[in-house]
Structure 1
Amino acid sequence: MIKYREILRLHAQGISQRGIASSTSNSRTTIREVVKRSEERNTKWPLDEGVTDQDLQELLFPEKHASFDFRKKPDCEYIHKELAKPGVNLTLLWEEYSLNCQSNEEIPYSYRQFCRVYHDYARKTKATMRIKRKPGELLEVDWAGKTMSIKDELTGENIPVYIFVSALPCSQYAYVEGFLSMNAESWISAHIHAFQFYRGVPRVIVPDNLKTGVVKASKYEPIIHKGYQEMAEHYHTTIVPARVRHPKDKASAESTVGHISTWIIASLRNQEFFSLKELNDAVKGKLAEFNNKPFQKKQGSRHTAFKEEEHFALTPLPAASYEIATWQVATVQYDYHIEVDKMFYSVPYDYVKYVVDIRVNRSIVEVFYKGLRIASHKKIKGRLGQFETLPEHMPKEHKQYIDFDTSYVRQWGEKAGPNMLITINSILASYRVEKQALKSCLGLIKLADQHSVDRVEKACERALMYTTRPTLTSIKTILKNGQDKLPVTLEKESPKEVKPNPYGFTRGAEYYGGKK
Structure 2
Amino acid sequence: MVLEHKPGDKLFIDYAGKPLSYIDRQTGEEVQVQVFVACLPYSDYCFALAVPSQKLEDFIHALGCCLRELGGVPQTLVPDNLKAAVIRANAYEPDLNKALEDFANHYGTSVTLARPRKPQDKSLVENQVKLIYNRVYAKLRKLTFFDLPSLNKAIAQKVREHNQTRMQQKDYCREEKFLADEKQALQPLPQTTFEIKYYREHKVAKNNHIYLGMDKHYYSVPYTYIGMKVKVIYTRSLVKIYHKSNLIATHLRNTKKAGYTTRKEHLCSHHQYYKERSPAYYLQRGYNHSEERYRYLEAVFKQDKYPEQLYKTCDGILNLSRKTNGESFTKACGIALDHGKYSYRFLKQILENRMTEYQEEPQVKSLPTHGNIRGASFYK
The TM-score bracket by the shorter chain reads 0.7 to 0.9
The aligned residue for residue 124 of structure 2 is 252
Q: Relative to 1, partners in 2 of residues 1:415 and 1:316: Cα closer, same or farther, differing over 3 Å?
A: closer
Q: Deviations over 1:396-422 (max 9, x none)?
A: 111101111223223433555666545
The aligned residue for residue 282 of structure 2 is 409
* Structure 2 unaligned residues grouped into runs of 5+: 370-380
The aligned residue for residue 322 of structure 1 is 193
The aligned residue for residue 373 of structure 2 is none
What percent identity do the matched residue pairs reach? Answer: 29
Distance 2:122 2:241 in 1: 35
Task: Please list, as runs of the form range in 1=range in 2, the aligned pairs for 1:365-404 lying within 5 A after superposition.
Answer: 365-369=238-242, 371-380=245-254, 384-404=257-277
* 1:201 partner amino acid: V
Indicate whether 1:149 and 2:24 are aligned: no
Q: Deviations over 1:336-383 (max 9, x none)?
A: 15446345443333344534323233xx423131554433334558x6
The aligned residue for residue 113 of structure 2 is 241
Scaled by the length of structure 1, the TM-score of the pair is 0.59
Distance 2:12 2:220 in 1: 41
* 1:341 partner amino acid: D
Deviation, structure 1 residue 487: 8.0
Distance 1:421 1:154 in 2: 63
Partner SS, residue 271 of structure 1: coil
Distance 1:430 1:288 in 2: 75
* 1:488 partner amino acid: E
Task: Please list, as runs of the form range in 1=range in 2, the aligned pairs for 1:38-49 lying within 5 A after superposition.
Answer: none
Distance 2:361 2:240 in 1: 70
Distance 1:277 1:312 in 2: 29
Conserved 8 A contact 2:86-2:94: no
Distance 1:134 1:393 in 2: 53
Conserved 8 A contact 1:201-1:237: yes
Conserved 8 A contact 2:22-2:32: yes
The match for 1:232 among 93, 104, 119 is: 104
Deviation, structure 1 residue 465: 3.9
Distance 1:274 1:466 in 2: 76
* Structure 1 unaligned residues grouped into runs of 5+: 1-128, 501-516
Using CA pairs under 8 Å that are at least 6 residues apart, name the structure with larger relative contact order, 1 or 2.
Answer: 2
The aligned residue for residue 349 of structure 1 is 223
Task: Please list, as runs of the form range in 1=range in 2, the aligned pairs for 1:259-278 lying within 5 A after superposition.
Answer: 259-278=131-150
The aligned residue for residue 377 of structure 2 is none
Partner SS, residue 410 of structure 1: helix
Partner SS, residue 43 of structure 2: coil
The aligned residue for residue 136 of structure 1 is 8
Distance 1:244 1:195 in 2: 25
Distance 1:208 1:144 in 2: 12
Partner SS, residue 41 of structure 2: coil
The aligned residue for residue 76 of structure 2 is 204
Conserved 8 A contact 2:336-2:346: no
Alignment root-mean-square deviation, CA: 3.6
Q: Relative to 1, partners in 2 of residues 1:489 and 1:277: Cα closer, same or farther, differing over 3 Å?
A: closer
The aligned residue for residue 483 of structure 1 is 353
Indicate whether 1:454 and 2:327 are aligned: no
Distance 1:197 1:316 in 2: 12
Indicate whether 1:162 and 2:34 are aligned: yes
Q: Relative to 1, partners in 2 of residues 1:223 and 1:154: Cα closer, same or farther, differing over 3 Å?
A: closer
Q: Relative to 1, partners in 2 of residues 1:395 and 1:240: Cα closer, same or farther, differing over 3 Å?
A: farther
Report the structure, 1 or 2, having the larger strand content. 2
Conserved 8 A contact 1:151-1:274: yes
Deviation, structure 1 residue 161: 0.9
Report the structure, 1 or 2, having the larger helix content. 1
